[in-house]
Structure 1
């Protein structure tokens, strides 16, 4: 695999494009590989308000090549998600009075012990419960990859030191409001210089950070930063970020380094959006309609 090119100067972001993808291909499973060898992803998230969001994350992980996907979500949603997506395993978790995962009652250790990548936070609405789940994961010392999304990002400051200690950087996938919470700054201030913000965030948390937007920026802890402008406005729809988180989790589970996985997930997500815009229209396609395009664009790029 060709080495990733580095750029240490903010304001000189590298371009994420086809040339970079060809120089940094995804690892391919052996033809004799079984489903465990293709990577095991665990998704923890969901709530009563958005019960189907984790289904998008789970299916995106399967579409991006993960061999096994398991979802831990609230009891009220678990059976329906498992029936809708029979390729996955589901673990029902107790919910609190407002329909969020009750982190104090969530027994995840046995599920996390064998996963190659954990995606935590999609479709959760309570930052406090998500923060408790992050603390539990940090205490468990999960050896596999870690993708933190949505509510898991909102109070992440208390876990910054633990994240920096990880042998393999976590991948954080904030939108503008979530990176504002991560940096404790106004969203308007960050919007004025998004590239500086994403680099600062990556260095603060020792993580790979994907700042989603019309131009998406991806930064590594050492200051490396890439820019991707191939998305479209149709991707700004509910559930779209859940799909990207699932792609990233799958690629990490397949053995892709976190930075490379984050960059590929941004490109696959954006290219799937382009295909949807062509087939359906530039506005009005659903996040679920991105899913069937993921294998096609991944194959074409490879």
Structure 2
């Protein structure tokens, strides 16, 4: 691994956002499928979906438990909704795999894992999805999908050129099967090990976020303590996947997502205070940040 490069506006200008022509339609601006949710956290995907739209995606579909689908659709009428079978405990049922597979060809990118809390079910669905994904489909694994990913190393490596993993330190420890203290002691080293093992773009979220893809290593120190709040990771996942759906590589999409997320947090810290802003207040700042680079 070479020297770590700061993720700043100079790097972003050298690696620009997608250049959409004036007559592009909503399908040409990127179609994202967000798979997640459960009865305990029914609305988490709304954060991911809004972040995706704010970062430029043209269409977003939310696939979630049937009991939440109507409410989700009413809360966010811009989204299509796929109602999935659910278990008695309110999780997406493993029987949902066929419905999800039928949706894949309609999308350019998939986010899998937000607001899901049953690791066994997540692992079962991930095992069904990975071999069925189109070769060029962008895949982001988040939350409990990251814990399940440890059992699907080879399947992820096969399509590693199109995959992003977005763990915090605890999830990175689970990916590697090591104690969190080891990751906390040297997150960059743990990240390098994960990138080598899974053969894809991997970041680790923290006060300084690190990103590795291939032989490129980036770091971003910013955003502030206020980003350590429920839903913040769902926003980041939506930003990155949106840019992946629009054609950016996993490295570029993740780098832009990290920077937009962090800078939105920094601006809210300056205007509202370092603590107390909500994750849902981040996405409205994103279009202006994108325009300003």
After TM superposition, the score normalised by the length of structure 2 is 0.97
The aligned residue for residue 107 of structure 2 is: 115
Counterpart residue number, 1:5: none
Kept in 1, the 8 Å contact 2:85–2:95? The answer is no
Q: How far is the alpha carbon of 1:119 from its aligned partner?
A: 0.3
Relative to structure 1, is the Cα distance of residues 223 and 71 closer, same or farther in structure 2, using a 3 angstrom cutoff? same
Contact 2:212/2:218, CA 8 A, preserved across alignment:
yes
Are residue 274 (structure 1) and residue 277 (structure 2) matched? no
Alignment correspondent of 2:201: 208
Residue 154 of structure 1 aligns to a residue in which SS?
Answer: helix
Match of 1:3 in 2: none
CA distance in 2, matches of 1:194, 1:154: 17
Q: Which residue of 1 aligns with 2:152?
A: 159
**Distance of 1:53 and 1:287 partners within structure 2:** 10
> Given the alignment, which residue of 206, 224, 229 partners 2:221?
229
Out of 129, 150, 159, the position equivalent to 2:143 is 150
Q: 1:9-48, aligned counterparts within 5 Å?
A: 9=2, 12-48=3-39
Q: Secondary structure in 2 aligned to 1:171?
A: strand
For 1:13-43, what per-residue CA distance to the aligned partner results, in whole angstroms no more than 9, with x for missing partners?
1110111011110112110000000010000
CA distance in 2: counterparts of 1:209 and 1:183, whole angstroms: 12
CA displacement 1:259-299 (0-9 Å, x = unmatched): 01000000000011112112222100000000111111111
Structure 2 unpaired stretches of 5+: none
| d(CA) in 1 for partners of 2:128, 2:272 | 42
Distance (whole Å) between structure 2 residues aligned to residue 170 and residue 54 of structure 1: 19
2:247 is the counterpart of 1:255: yes
In structure 1, runs of 5+ residues without a counterpart are 1-7
**May I ask how many residue pairs the two structures share in their alignment?**
291
Partner of 2:61: 70
- Deviations along 1:76-122, whole A, 9 cap, x unmatched? 21111111111110011111121111122342122111210000001
The alignment's C-alpha RMSD in Å is: 1.1
What TM-score results when the alignment is normalised by the length of structure 1?
A: 0.94
